[in-house]
Homo-oligomer: A and B are copies of this chain.
Amino acid sequence: MKIYRVNMTNLTFVEEEVPEEWKMLGGRGLTSAIVSKEVEPTCHPLGSKNKLVFAPGLLAGTMAGNSGRLSVGAKSPLTGGIKESNAGGTAAQRLAKLGVKALIVEGIPKGDKWYTLHIHKDGVEIKEENELLGKGNYEIIHTLTARYGENTGVITIGQAGEYKMSMANISVKDPKGHIRSAGRGGLGAVMGSKRIKFITLDDNDGAGITIQDKEKFKNAAQIFNKGLLSHPVSGNALPKYGTNVLMNILNEAGGLPTKNFRMGQFESAEKISGETMYDTIMSRKGDPTHGCHAGCIIRCSQTYNDKDNRYLTSGFEYETIWGFGAGCTVDDLDIIAHVDNICDDIGIDTIETAGSMMIAMEAGIVPWGDGHGIVKLLKDEIREGTYLGRILGNGASYAGQAFGITRIPTVKRQTMPAYDPRAVKGIGVTYATTPMGADHTAGYSVATNILKVGGHIDPLSKEGQVELSKNLQIATAAIDSAGLCVFTAFAIMDYEPVSHAVIDMINAQYGTNWTVNDWLNLGRSVLRMERNFNIEAGFSSKDDRLPEFFEEPVPPHNAIWDFSGEELDQVFEY
Instruction: Give A contacts to B, CB under 8 Å.
Output: 40-44, 46-47, 49, 77, 163-166, 189, 192-193, 386-388, 390-391, 394, 398, 401-404, 406, 535-540, 542-543, 545, 547-548
Contacts and interface: CB of A to CB of B under 8 A. Distances in A.
Residue with the greatest number of chain B CB neighbours at <10 A, chosen from A40, A398, A542, A543: A542
Given A164-B404, A192-B404, 19 more contacts: A40-B548, A42-B548, A44-B406, A46-B404, A46-B406, A47-B406, A163-B404, A166-B401, A189-B404, A387-B391, A387-B402, A391-B402, A394-B401, A398-B398, A398-B401, A535-B540, A538-B539, A538-B543, A539-B540
Contact of A402 (B47, B390, B404, B548): B390
A254 to B, nearest CB: 26
A538 B542 contact: yes
Nearest to A166: B401
Nearest to A43: B548
A536 to B, nearest CB: 7
A189 B400 CA distance: 14
Contacts of A77: 401
Contacts of A189: 404
A155 to B, nearest CB: 20
A164 B538 CA distance: 27
26 contacts: A42-B542, A43-B548, A44-B406, A44-B547, A46-B404, A47-B406, A47-B548, A163-B404, A164-B403, A165-B404, A189-B404, A192-B404, A193-B404, A193-B406, A387-B388, A387-B402, A390-B391, A394-B402, A398-B398, A535-B540, A537-B542, A538-B539, A538-B540, A538-B542, A539-B540, A540-B540
A9 to B, nearest CB: 14
Contact of A44 (B41, B47, B542, B548): B548
Query: How many copies make up the complex?
Result: 2
A366 to B, nearest CB: 14
Looking at A43, A47, A193, A402, the one whose CB has the most chain B CB atoms below 10 A away is A402
A536 B540 CA distance: 9
A432 B43 CA distance: 16
Contacts of A540: 535, 538-540
Nearest to A388: B387
A77 B401 CA distance: 9
Contacts of A539: 538, 540
Nearest to A404: B164
Contacts of A402: 387, 390-391, 394
A44 B77 CA distance: 21
Contacts of A166: 401
Contacts of A44: 406, 547-548
Among A163, A192, A540, A547: residue with most chain B CB under 10 A: A540
A409 to B, nearest CB: 12
A187 B219 CA distance: 67
Contact of A49 (B165, B403, B542, B548): B548
